[in-house]
Amino acid sequence: MRARVMTVALGVMAWTAAMSAQQTSRPTELTSMDYIEIQQLAIRYAYGLDTAADNGYLYANVFSPDGEFIGRQTPFTKGRDALARVARSVRKGNSMFVRHFITNHEIHPTPEGAAGTVYLMVVDVEEGQPSSIYIGGRYEDVYVKTEEGWRIQRRDARNLGAPRITPRVTPGASK
């Protein structure tokens, strides 16, 4: 009888643990406002990187304090101060220089918060030069909700390919 009680007790404990694990692995539900706030990160990311506004912190602050970026030109960057340095280092041809376009934002809930994918197109629009697509690819993101709101925990650049290299046009030069 004692063995039977122990078997039942162990079975109940195992079932309780399995049910608890299932509940914690379910994706969180995202509200409409969660989706909007996460989409705003992509917008501020591009503006922040292209303008280096707020000394690079418009870009850096779309990330969590320990946020990470993994790219080709910047292989691994972690933390807001390092990310702000990246934004300040991006080449700016002029004050109206626009180059990062983020599109087709897909967002889905995860047990930890949210994840998503966005397409990236970098357009070279330097004065005196023909505009051209410099590179394209996508970002794979992990988002977390912090006291400051939604932030990028990790952004991983994928399928970027080699950058386009074209000769520079010198105005007035003969061919």
77-131 pLDDT tens trace: 999 999 999 998 876 655 566 788 999 999 999 999 999 999 999 888 777 778 8
Q: Tell me what pLDDT residue 72 has.
A: 75
State how beta strands 77-78 and 63-70 pair: antiparallel
Q: Where are the alpha helices (DSSP H) in the chain?
A: 2-24, 32-51, 57-60, 80-89
In a domain, 21, yes or no: no
Average pLDDT, the chain: 82
Radius of gyration (C-alpha) of the chain in whole angstroms = 23
**Per-residue 3-state assignment (H helix, E strand, C coil) for 105-146:** EEEEEECCEEEEEEEEEEEECCCCCCCEEEEEEEEEEEEEEE
In a domain, 163, yes or no: no
In a domain, 32, yes or no: yes
Q: What is the DSSP letter of 93?
A: S
State how beta strands 100-110 and 77-78 pair: unpaired
In a domain, 4, yes or no: no
Q: Residue-wise over 58-97: b if at least 16 C-beta within 10 A, else e?
A: bbbbbbbeebbbbbeeeeebeebebbbbbbeebeeeeeee
What CATH number is attached to the domain comprising 128? 3.10.450.50
In a domain, 172, yes or no: no
In a domain, 170, yes or no: no
pLDDT confidence tier of residue 74, bands split at 50, 70 and 90: confident
Residues 144/68, Cβ–Cβ less than 8 Å: no
Total domain count, the chain: 1
Containing structural domain, residue 133: 28-158
In a domain, 80, yes or no: yes
CA dihedral 123, 80, 57, 32 (to 10 degrees): 80
In a domain, 7, yes or no: no
* CA angle, residues 20, 66, 155, in degrees to nearest 5: 85
Say whether pLDDT at 26 is over 90: no
